[in-house]
Amino acid sequence: MTTVFVTHPQDKLDLYFGERAARALQAIAEVRFNPLARELSTAELAAAAQDCDLLIAYRQTPGPAELFDALPRLAAFVRCAMDIRTVDVEAASARGVLVTRASPGFVPAVAEWILGVMINLGRGIGRYVQVYREGGAPEPVMGCQLRAATLGVIGYGQIGRYLGEAAQALGMRVLACDPEPIVNAQLLEQVALPALLAQSDFVVCLAPANERTEHLMNAQAFAAMKRGAFFINAARGELVDDQALLAALDAGHLGGCATDVGRAPDQMPAPALAAHPRVIATPHIGGLTRPAIEHQALETVSQVGALLRGEVPPGAVNPAQASRLARWKGAA
């Protein structure tokens, strides 16, 4: 019987995989789980999965060449997430190992998180709550409502589109900056980044993280934003210069910031930024809802099922080089 090793730490298994997916996986394969409440090192993982056919990898589990060298039986590295930047796909391909990833089932969850923090930032809800909890009497201040405000979305992918439609339903003007032409987007204005920054009351960063977008939001970008505007990062920490953001907050140029990501381990917000009084920081939970998690977990189980039937599953990154899949060839 095919043996699958699930790398999720024990304390993350329910949150990021779930009982439903675990039962579905056990119905089609012999399953082994990471026994520890932490990530296994590459050497520990290689030892634990030595005779396994497949790995279902937690979002933080790296896939370096050393791992593929140490697992001659491994046929597929199945990422239970979208991000495969820590997987050496070239090394996997050279050894005939398939790499797959899940599709984004977290689109509504992340968009809802963004709408929630926009309302919180614009109305100062968190500040009022904190003062009351400390026994004080907060002083009311004028809020910023979403209706008639301008939302600027940097990176108009699936989350951006979902968010843009929701914002338009709330009566917001929506600007979008994306390198690709945006089609079938009624009432949306596609603009260059300087125009978006200058006109938006809320700037939401949803761009992909790569060499071109490193520090996309830097001192110059924050200075170009409207005074009193709000910045929200729901993409990746690498896109933001934290020191420049802190300076813009300290100077009072920005009205506030919300972030669910950062440069701390596991894409957590940096402590110095998270502690700032004008920042709403959450521990990378934008997509942490049961429907979102089950979407990706069950999709990885579906990918395993496809492999056992001798099929190349959706989400396969390097199927042409995956020679180790031959063991299931003709299974259908």
What CATH number has the domain bearing residue 125? 3.40.50.720
Token code pair at residue 244: 């420049």
Distances (CA, A) of 135 to 83, 132, 138: 44, 5, 9
Q: Cα separation of 307 and 272, whole Å?
A: 45
Asked whether residue 68 falls in the same domain as residue 140, the answer is no
For CA atoms 219, 222, 227, 228, the dihedral sign is negative
Do 133 and 253 have their domain in common?
yes
Shared-domain flag, residues 23 and 163: no
The verdict on 192 and 63 lying in the same domain is no
- Residues spanned by the domain of 232: 107-281
Give catalytic status of residue 284 as yes or no. yes
> Could you count the other beta carbons within 10 Å of the beta carbon of residue 95?
18
What confidence score (pLDDT) does residue 328 get?
Answer: 87
Same domain, 118 and 252: yes
Report the domain count for the chain: 2
The one catalytic residue among 59, 95, 236, 324: 236
> Catalytic: which of 79, 95, 101, 284?
284
17 and 70 share one domain: yes
Q: Domain check: are 295 and 275 in the same one?
A: no
**Under-70 pLDDT residues of the chain:** 330-332
Judgement on whether residues 117 and 204 belong to the same structural domain of the protein:
yes
**Which pLDDT tens digit goes with each residue over 155-181?**
999 999 999 999 999 999 999 999 888
Q: 52 and 133: one domain?
A: no
Domain match, 116 and 222 both: yes
14/29 same-domain check: yes
Indicate if 147 belongs to the active site: no
Going from the C-alpha of 201 to that of each of 161, 163, 189, 192, 249, the distances in angstroms are: 18, 15, 15, 16, 15
pLDDT at 330: 60
pLDDT at 329: 75
